[in-house]
Amino acid sequence: MKLTIESILITDIDGKKSKKICFKDGINLITSRINSVGKSVIMKSIYHSLGADSFFDANFKKIKNLLIETEFLFGSNKYTCIRYNNLFCILKNGNYYGYYKSHRNEMAKFFEDELGMSVYLRSREGRAELAPPAYLFIPYYLDQDRSWKEEQYPFAKESMQHYYKTSANELFLYHLGVFDKSYGQLKASIDSVKDKITNLQCERSKYDEAYSQIKDSVGLNNYLINETEIESFLRSETSKINGLLNEQNNYIIEMNKLIENKSKIRLRIKENKKTIELLEKNDQVVPVITECPFCHKQYDLELKSSIINTYNMVVLENSNKSLNSELLDIENRILELKNKISYLTEKISSSDNDVKNKNSTYASYLAWKTISESKKDLLEKIRFYDESIYQADESRKELEKKKNDIKRNSEEVRFKFADYYCNYLNELDVSGVDSSMITPFYKCQLSGSQFSRSTLSLYFGFMKLKEEYNNKSFNLPLIIDSPREGEQDELNSEKILLFILNHRINSNQLIVASVNATNYISESDIKHINVIELDNAKKELLTAQDYSEEHTQALISYFEKID
């Protein structure tokens, strides 16, 4: 079915200015006597309003609140697409249909689900996915600023850089019917199966690694072990070691106390020796007051300090003898305790080694037992993943074969495109190019004014091919802005305009914009063309006279549902 634009209304909400243009099915020509009156703004706004991102000039970008209402027919239904900045609302036959926050994703689903138009491309992340609406419009729009001057697509760069160029050029094959929605979904299915295979291989490798690590660390030898006996031995030995450790600990506590007491005794002996040395040096008279026990009379006696000192020294020396004897006993006991502790250490070490050896053997046995019990389960899981990987890979091969069969069918289309492209180049007086020099759906890199004519030949070569292969779907308006770009002389200007008007292929609606275009068209041809002449001043396309506050508010009200 054919999509036909009926009208477009462009509104600057803040400036309270608007412009409405009505179109007819067939040929529409937007023209003016001077440049910069808004022809390109109208042309850019059409597909911009339907979900692309057109490349507007700086003056138009200043509009902060832009509202574009486009009415179009598709089959027996009339749709109204309202774009409010980057939000969209769709009406179907005057009734609310839906609103969309994302013009690249959600609007693409609208065109696929409602209008049956979709293109699947491979993104730079390597995923086959539904492409934004811009890729539906590329073969039907030649933009003044980008299409005629360079090898670029007509829309803003931010919406055109998400896909590899080789994949992006496949979009022409969708429009020609060689590829379709099922082909795009086929590529997405292949990606999904590849992801599944990768995940299955990752899971399988985990079981392989686990099995390998256990097998390498333990081995798969047979163990003949009495579990009850070894567990009894380990309990007994552990209890024995604990008893020895407790006994050893008591000895250590006792020895530490003896060592502490030994230090105190040595200190006392040392202090006694110092006192004896002092007493030996002291020889003074010492007054002593004493009292008679019978009559209680006091007497003053004088004793020689040497007598007192001698007595004290004897007492101290006897004390040291006793202390030295005690010290010797302590040292003997400490030596005895050390021997006992050393003996217990050897016994504990021996028992501990026995326990370690038994534990090592027991651990190996338990690991072997675990492997034996889980071996079957591991192998079953590995076999399960092997089978799943095999089945998924077979599915991938089958899908790849279908995809390659479809791609092979595109070879004939590519050859025919080159021929049509070459024929149109010749018709537009571009010489020196043969079909062997043409890469399908890429522009020939020609210089000067020939580049513009080469661009026109590419689009019409594609349209001619589409008429032959797929004249039922993707019937979008062909929008051509300023086809006389590239320093075209008067003769070529006339030839280009007449070429466009006389090659209305596949009955697509045609919308052309060109300054002074009526100068190159005969009166008989003008009768069959809907001529839209702009007579406003430069850069004053939108006017207050065309603005309706009531209608603007009615359009904005649809977006109240968008949170």
What CATH number corresponds to the domain at position 71?
3.40.50.300
Concatenating the DSSP letter of every residue in 417-476 gives HHHHHHHHHHHTT--S--GGGPPTTS-----THHHHHHHHHHHHHHHHHHHHH-SSS-B-
Highest mean pLDDT among 177-191, 211-225, 546-560: 546-560
Mean pLDDT of the chain: 83
Give the per-residue pLDDT at 430.
Answer: 86
Is the confidence at residue 397, as pLDDT, over 80?
yes
Domain annotation covers residue 318 = no
Least confident span in 415-429, 473-487, 515-529 = 473-487
User: Average of pLDDT values for 351-378?
Assistant: 72
148 within a domain of the structure (yes/no): yes
Inside any domain, residue 493: yes
450 within a domain of the structure (yes/no): yes
pLDDT digits (tens, 9 = 90+) for 408-429: 878 888 889 999 999 999 888 8
Residue 333 lies in a domain: no
Distances (CA, A) of 344 to 179, 243, 350: 88, 10, 10
Domain-embedded: residue 56: yes
Here the tokens at position 392 are 């998924």
Task: Tell me, yes or no, whether 181 lies in a domain.
Answer: no
pTM comes to 0.67
**Percent residues over pLDDT 90 in the chain:** 28
Do strands 77-84 and 87-92 pair parallel, antiparallel, or not at all (unpaired)?
A: antiparallel
Q: What is the pLDDT of residues 13-42, one digit of tens each?
A: 999 999 999 999 999 999 999 988 999 999
Q: Which residues contact 369 (CB under 8 A, 6 or more apart)?
A: 223
Please give the residue that has the higher pLDDT: either 196 or 287.
Answer: 196
Q: What is the pLDDT of residue 560?
A: 79
- The total domain count for the chain is 1
Domain boundaries, position 468: 3-169+442-561
460-464: average pLDDT: 91
pLDDT value at position 285? 47
Asked if the structure places residue 174 within a domain, the reply is no
- Identify the three-state secondary structure at position 507: coil
